[in-house]
Amino acid sequence: MPSVSPSVRVKVLFFGRVRELTGLTEENGEISEGATLGDLLERYIQRYPQLAGFRASLVASRNQEFAAWDTRIAGGDEIAFLPPVSGG
Amino acid sequence: MPSVSPSVRVKVLFFGRVRELTGLTEENGEISEGATLGDLLERYIQRYPQLAGFRASLVASRNQEFAAWDTRIAGGDEIAFLPPVSGG
Amino acid sequence: MPTTPESDLYELIQAAVDPAALVRHVRAGQDGAIVTFDGFVRNESHGRATKYLEYEAYEPMALAKMREIGAQIHERYAIHRVAMVHRLGRMDIGETSVFIAVSAPHRAAAFDACRFAIDTLKRTVPIWKKEYFQDGAIWAEGKIPPTAPKTKPAS
Amino acid sequence: MPTTPESDLYELIQAAVDPAALVRHVRAGQDGAIVTFDGFVRNESHGRATKYLEYEAYEPMALAKMREIGAQIHERYAIHRVAMVHRLGRMDIGETSVFIAVSAPHRAAAFDACRFAIDTLKRTVPIWKKEYFQDGAIWAEGKIPPTAPKTKPAS
């Protein structure tokens, strides 16, 4: 089911529990122009259903700033899905 | 004018500004039985009138505990008139 | 947002933390007080004996967030300098994972700023801790960072 | 009044303070946090350039009051160990006059206890500071200690 809308390239980073569950540390992907951070997360949850249980505890970052799920993705963005932080 | 009431021996210590004003670091003295810490201070103020201006800022200690001015002195007590503290 | 003085120090490191060097970094003649916070690996967590910990970070973002905390405390409190270091990788019992030193002319500002700094670091800096026990390992529970930090204007 | 753990350290000293040794003293595997307060000689006081300071104490009473503060913070806060040292005699700019280290399993208790300790020390411990300037010297203004400390039952 190829998308007919134009797509943009994004870099996606994975940390902590999300890194372990997906087995990914970083990947480059494409997503339809106009898609939100929430849309991108749902795509990863489809690919890695074991992420679904953690959906409520994740926050997104876009270009190294925390960002709301309805934030639209732009080409070249660096995105991460961050589990609850536990530094210190 | 020797006192006719029995007297008790006390050790009196001097610190900081009070030490400088009196030129004393420590002395052994006698005071009438039943005298209070306030009575003892007044005797020092008579001897060293330059202490009078500091009366309101001094506190007394008796045997290394802060003590109210109406505390009665007992024989062998260690008394000090302490200027405002400025440690730290 | 106020600029962070160039003389502050913010670092993510792999080697052991050197508290004395960090304190020297913030200490100056115009100051009268330094408050430090040293966070290190406790021998137990929720009643289970800890073997060791591993920390990982989203490094450039974590460093940016640490600098942001520094800017916030310079804005809020009359402090002089800040040194804030988080170690990453494996740490054994007793080893320092985070160290914060704040100097100030007077102590109240140093206490307030140091405490605000560590409290905010634990809520907002993308660092993760995995706790290793005799019988397994878990990711520490953690805190969900605010998506739009209250302390920052929306701009 | 709770007894102060034997493992605490309270000292009046003439030599330079060694912060690293005091931190080692309070640090143990059961802890996760150490907060320290380092008070040192500032280069000015009320706008006048300080040359040096001299501290004197009513030594046995000062030490007893420091131990009393230690007992109070053990009673009030879930802390582990305390090291509290005040230096006496002449100190130059930048030299530490007082150092307090408090260890605890969790940071809030360590912050609260360390701050209570230095705030109380400055109000209740019989130590006096004389400030030397280019053109003279004055006894620092100071605080009048409460005659019956509120934190102690009248017994």
> C91-104, pLDDT tens digit by residue?
999 999 999 999 99
Q: At D68, which CATH number?
A: 3.90.1170.40
Is residue B30 one of the residues assigned to a domain?
yes
Interface with D, mutate which of C111, C116, C121 (most D CBs under 10 A): C111
Q: CB D64 to CB B64 under 8 A?
A: yes
* Sheet arrangement for strand C33-40: C9-13, C81-87, C96-104, C33-40, D33-40, D96-104, D81-87, D9-13
Question: pLDDT by residue (tens digit) across B24-42?
Answer: 999 999 999 999 999 999 9
Contact status of B80 with chain D (Cβ, < 8 Å) = yes
pLDDT at C155 over 60: no
Is residue B1 one of the residues assigned to a domain?
no
Is residue B88 one of the residues assigned to a domain?
no
The residue segments making up the domain with residue D63 are: 9-138
Is residue A48 one of the residues assigned to a domain?
yes
pLDDT at B4 over 50: yes
Is residue D102 one of the residues assigned to a domain?
yes
Number of domains into which chain A is organized: 1
The pLDDT of residue D1 is 41
Is residue C25 one of the residues assigned to a domain?
yes
What is the model's pTM?
0.93
The residue segments making up the domain with residue A49 are: 7-82
Cβ-Cβ contacts under 8 Å for A18 (sequence gap 6 or more) = A51, A54, A58, A81, A82, A83
**Distance of residue C58 Cα from the nearest chain A Cα, in angstroms:** 7
Give the type of residue at D7. Answer: S
Mean pLDDT score of chain C, rounded to an integer?
93
Is residue D146 one of the residues assigned to a domain?
no
Task: Look at the alpha carbons of B20, B21, B24, B27 in this order and tell me if their dihedral is positive or negative.
Answer: negative
Q: How confident is the model at residue C147 (pLDDT cuts 50, 70, 90)?
A: confident
pLDDT at B48 over 60: yes
**Distance of residue B28 Cα from the nearest chain D Cα, in angstroms:** 17
Q: At A12, which CATH number?
A: 3.10.20.30
pLDDT at A3 over 90: no
pLDDT at D74 over 70: yes
The pLDDT of residue C2 is 45
Residue C110, helix vs strand vs coil: helix
The pLDDT of residue D2 is 46
Chains that touch C (3 or more CB pairs under 8 A): A, D
Task: Please list every residue in chain C whose beta carbon sits closer than 8 Å to the beta carbon of residue D29.
Answer: 42-43, 93-94
Question: pLDDT by residue (tens digit) across C31-79?
Answer: 999 999 999 999 999 899 999 999 999 999 999 999 999 999 999 999 9
Is residue D15 one of the residues assigned to a domain?
yes
Chain C residue with CA closest to D109: the answer is C115
Is residue A46 one of the residues assigned to a domain?
yes
Q: How confident is the model at residue A5 (pLDDT cuts 50, 70, 90)?
A: confident
Q: What are the angstrom distances between the C-alpha of B26 and each of A46, A69, B15, B68, B78?
A: 85, 75, 9, 21, 10
Question: pLDDT by residue (tens digit) across C100-138?
Answer: 999 999 999 999 999 999 999 999 999 999 999 999 999
Question: What average pLDDT score do residues D80-107 get?
Answer: 98
Is residue A38 one of the residues assigned to a domain?
yes
**H/E stretch holding A8:** strand A7-14
Neighbours of C139 (CB within 10 A): 17
ipTM above 0.95, yes or no: no
Task: Please list every residue in chain C whose beta carbon sits closer than 8 Å to the beta carbon of residue D17.
Answer: none
**Residue whose token pair is 């090291």:** D83
d(CA B37, CA B79): 8
Question: pLDDT by residue (tens digit) across A35-69?
Answer: 999 999 999 999 999 999 999 999 999 999 999 99
Is residue A88 one of the residues assigned to a domain?
no
Is residue A1 one of the residues assigned to a domain?
no
pLDDT at C153 over 90: no
Is residue D105 one of the residues assigned to a domain?
yes
Is residue D36 one of the residues assigned to a domain?
yes
Q: CB D142 to CB B85 under 8 A?
A: yes
Is residue C155 one of the residues assigned to a domain?
no
Chain D residue with CA closest to C51: the answer is D29
Task: Please list every residue in chain C whose beta carbon sits closer than 8 Å to the beta carbon of residue A57.
Answer: 144
pLDDT at C154 over 90: no
Number of domains into which chain C is organized: 1
d(CA D26, CA D101): 7
Q: CB C130 to CB A61 under 8 A?
A: no
Is residue C91 one of the residues assigned to a domain?
yes
- Could you tell me where the beta strands, DSSP code E, fall in chain C? 9-13, 33-40, 44-45, 48-57, 81-87, 89-92, 96-104, 127-133, 136-139
